[in-house]
Amino acid sequence: MLDLLSPAQQDPILSLSIAFRADARADKMDLGIGVYKDSQGDTPIMQAVKTAQQQLADSQTTKSYVGLAGNEAFNQAMTDLLLKGTDGYSRCATVQTPGASGALRMLGDLMYLAKPITTVWITDPSYVNHKPVMEAAGLHVNFYPYFDSVTKQVNPEAMLAALSKAGPDDVVLLHGCCHNPTGADIRTEHWQAINELAQKNGFTPFVDIAYQGFGDGLEEDAYGLRLLADSVEEMLIATSCSKNFGLYRERTGAAIVIGKNKQEATNAKGRILQLARSTYTMPPDHGAAIVETILSDDGLTKQWRAELDGMRNRIISLREGLSAALSARTGDSHFDFIKAHKGMFSMLAYSPEQMVKLREEFGIYAVGDSRINVAGLTESRIDYLADALIAVSK
Ligand X SMILES: Cc1ncc(COP(=O)(O)O)c(C=O)c1O
Could you say which of 51, 53, 86, 240 contacts ligand X (CB under 6 A)? 240
Closest residue to ligand X using C-beta atoms: 99
Q: What is the DSSP string of 268-290?
A: HHHHHHHHHHTTTSS--SHHHHH
Please count the residues of this chain forming the interface with ligand X, following the rule CB under 6 A. 13
- When the beta carbons of 104 and 382 are compared against ligand X, the nearer one is 104
Query: Per rule CB under 6 A, is residue 108 in the interface with ligand X?
Result: no
Query: Per rule CB under 6 A, is residue 253 in the interface with ligand X?
Result: yes
> Which window, 72-80, 81-89, 99-107, 302-310, contacts ligand X (CB under 6 A)?
99-107
Query: Per rule CB under 6 A, is residue 32 in the interface with ligand X?
Result: no
Residue 315: count other Cβ atoms within 10 Å of its Cβ.
Answer: 22
Nearest distance from C-beta of residue 283 to ligand X, angstroms: 11
Local structure of 70: helix, strand or coil: coil
Could you say which of 71, 75, 79, 101 contacts ligand X (CB under 6 A)? 101
Asked if 155 and 123 count as a contact pair (C-beta separation under 8 A), the reply is no
Nearest distance from C-beta of residue 205 to ligand X, angstroms: 15
Query: Per rule CB under 6 A, is residue 94 in the interface with ligand X?
Result: no
- When the beta carbons of 48 and 255 are compared against ligand X, the nearer one is 255
Asked if 224 and 251 count as a contact pair (C-beta separation under 8 A), the reply is no
Asked if 239 and 210 count as a contact pair (C-beta separation under 8 A), the reply is yes
- CA 221-223-227 angle, to 5 degrees, is 155
Nearest distance from C-beta of residue 385 to ligand X, angstroms: 22
* Residue span 174-203 as binding mask against ligand X, x where in contact by CB under 6 A, dash where not: -x----x-----------------------
Query: Per rule CB under 6 A, is residue 123 in the interface with ligand X?
Result: no
Asked if 118 and 169 count as a contact pair (C-beta separation under 8 A), the reply is yes
Q: How far apart are CA 158 and CA 177, in angstroms?
A: 19
Query: Please, what's the b/e burial string for 158-189 (b: 16 or more CB within 10 A of its CB; e: otherwise)?
Result: ebbebbeebeeebbbbbbbbbbbbbbbbbeee
Residues engaged in binding ligand X (CB under 6 A): 34, 99-101, 127, 175, 180, 208, 210, 240, 242, 248, 253
